[in-house]
Amino acid sequence: MKQTILLLVILAFSAACKPPKGNEKPAYVVVLSMDGFRWDYTSRTSTPAFDELAADGVKAEYMVPSFPTKTFPNHYTLATGLYPGEHGIVANSFYNDSLKKSYSLGNRAAVQDADFYGGEPIWVTAEKYGIKAATCFWPGSEAPIKGVRPSYWLKYDGSLTYQSRLDTVVYWLTLPYSQRPHLVMFYVDEPDHTAHSFGPDSKEVTEEISSLDNYLAAVQKKLFSLDIADSIDFILLSDHGMAKVNMDKSYDLSQLLPAAWVVHQSTSNPLALIDPAPGFADSIVATLNKVKGIRAWLKKDVPAKYHYNSHPAIPGVVALADSSYTLYWKKYTLAADHGYDPDTNSDMRTIFYAKGSDFKKDFINKPFSNRMIYPLITKLLGIPTEKSLEALKNEHVEVTK
Q: If contact means CB under 5 to 8 A according to the sort of partner, which of Zn ion, ligand AMP, none does residue 105 touch?
A: ligand AMP
Query: What is the separation of C-alpha 285 from the centre of its chain, rounded to a whole number of angstroms?
Result: 31
CA 273, CA 263: separation in Å to the nearest integer?
11
Q: Which of residues 154-213 bind ligand AMP (CB under 6 A)?
A: 156, 158, 187, 189, 192-193
- To the query of whether residue 385 is one of the catalytic residues in this protein, the response is no
Q: Which is nearer to ligand AMP, 265 or 365 (CB)?
A: 265
CB of 43 to ligand AMP, least distance (A): 22
Residue 113 as a binder of ligand AMP (CB under 6 A): the answer is: no
CB of 342 to Zn ion, least distance (A): 13
DSSP per residue over 40-96, as a string?
Answer: TGGGTS--HHHHHHHHHSEEES-EE--SS--HHHHHHHHHHSS-HHHHS--SSEEEE
Q: Which of 92, 135, 378, 388 touches ligand AMP by CB under 6 A?
A: 92
Q: Write b or e for each residue in 167-180: b if 16 or more Cβ atoms lie within 10 A of its Cβ, otherwise e.
A: ebbbebbebeeeeb
Residue 147 as a binder of ligand AMP (CB under 6 A): the answer is: no
CB of 98 to ligand AMP, least distance (A): 23
Residue 71 as a binder of Zn ion (CB under 5 A): the answer is: yes
CA torsion angle 20 23 24 25 (round to 10)? -120
Total interface residues for Zn ion by CB under 5 A = 5
Residue 250 as a binder of Zn ion (CB under 5 A): the answer is: no
Q: Which of residues 139-198 bind Zn ion (CB under 5 A)?
A: 192
Residue 37 as a binder of ligand AMP (CB under 6 A): the answer is: no
Q: Which is nearer to Zn ion, 373 or 392 (CB)?
A: 373
Residue 239 as a binder of Zn ion (CB under 5 A): the answer is: yes
Q: Which is nearer to ligand AMP, 35 or 127 (CB)?
A: 35
CB of 35 to ligand AMP, least distance (A): 6
Q: If contact means CB under 5 to 8 A according to the sort of partner, which of ligand AMP, Zn ion, none does residue 20 touch?
A: none
If 0-12 CB within 10 Å is exposed, 13-18 middle and 19+ buried, where does residue 293 land?
middle
Residue 287 CB partners (closer than 8 Å, separation 6+): 256, 257
Secondary structure (3-state) at 275: strand
Beta bridge partners of 96: 101
Residue 347 as a binder of ligand AMP (CB under 6 A): the answer is: no
CA 294, CA 282: separation in Å to the nearest integer?
15
CA 65, CA 349: separation in Å to the nearest integer?
6
- Give residue number: closest CB to ligand AMP: 71
Among the options 42, 47, 71, 135, which is catalytic? 71
Secondary structure (3-state) at 294: strand
Report CA Rg, the chain: 22
Residues that bind ligand AMP (CB under 6 A): 35, 70-71, 92, 105, 111, 137, 139, 156, 158, 187, 189, 192-193
Which residues are the active-site residues? 71
